[in-house]
Amino acid sequence: MVIVAAVDRSDQASAVLEEAETLAQRFDDVVHVLHVMERSEAIQGAEDGNERLPNLQDRAAAVASELIEEHRLSTDVDAVGRIGDPANKIVEYADAEDARYVVVSPQQRSKTGKVLFGSVAQSVLLNAHCPVVSLRARSLDQ
């Protein structure tokens, strides 16, 4: 089966990868490191000329690949990229792959920030059809 490690570019990505690796080793599963870019972010990267990848999903997968290289996971791992609403794409991907677990880590935000922007982790917790491991958000002062 598959353990989906849903990552972004935050410092918390390393904790998500570590937990996903631990679960994969325990169950002899594969880790899919999933990075979802909102369409505007992917297009902006292309317009800035920062990334020279042929399609938007490849741009998102490149972020996942970079994180895999940085953290040197010892389990079988694949980099996956998707474009769209992060919470929806994470749930869709986990369903399509029949994931054993999804590992997420919420961003630490103020109450106002949560109201304005929502929480990807919360939405994944509420909508995923498999168990979700939600790591504790690091506080703003750490």
* Domain edges within the chain: 2-134
Considering only residues 11 and 99, tell me which one the structure prediction assigns the higher pLDDT.
99
State phi, psi for 61 to the nearest 5 degrees: -65, -30
The predicted pLDDT at position 46 comes to: 59
Torsion of CA 12, 69, 63, 18, to 10 degrees: -30
**For the chain, what is the mean pLDDT?**
85
Is there a contact between 6 and 37 (Cβ–Cβ < 8 Å)? no
The predicted pLDDT at position 75 comes to: 82
> pLDDT > 90: what percent of the chain?
60
Is there a contact between 75 and 30 (Cβ–Cβ < 8 Å)? yes
The predicted pLDDT at position 69 comes to: 92
Instruction: Just give the CATH number of 2-134.
Output: 3.40.50.620
pLDDT digits (tens, 9 = 90+) for 30-53: 999 999 998 887 677 656 555 555
pTM of the full structure:
0.85
Considering only residues 78 and 137, tell me which one the structure prediction assigns the higher pLDDT.
78
The secondary structure of residue 109, as a DSSP letter, is: -
Q: Is the pLDDT of residue 113 over 50?
A: yes
Token pair recorded at residue 50: 């920062």
Is there a contact between 12 and 107 (Cβ–Cβ < 8 Å)? yes
**Helix ranges (DSSP H) in 2-38:** 13-27
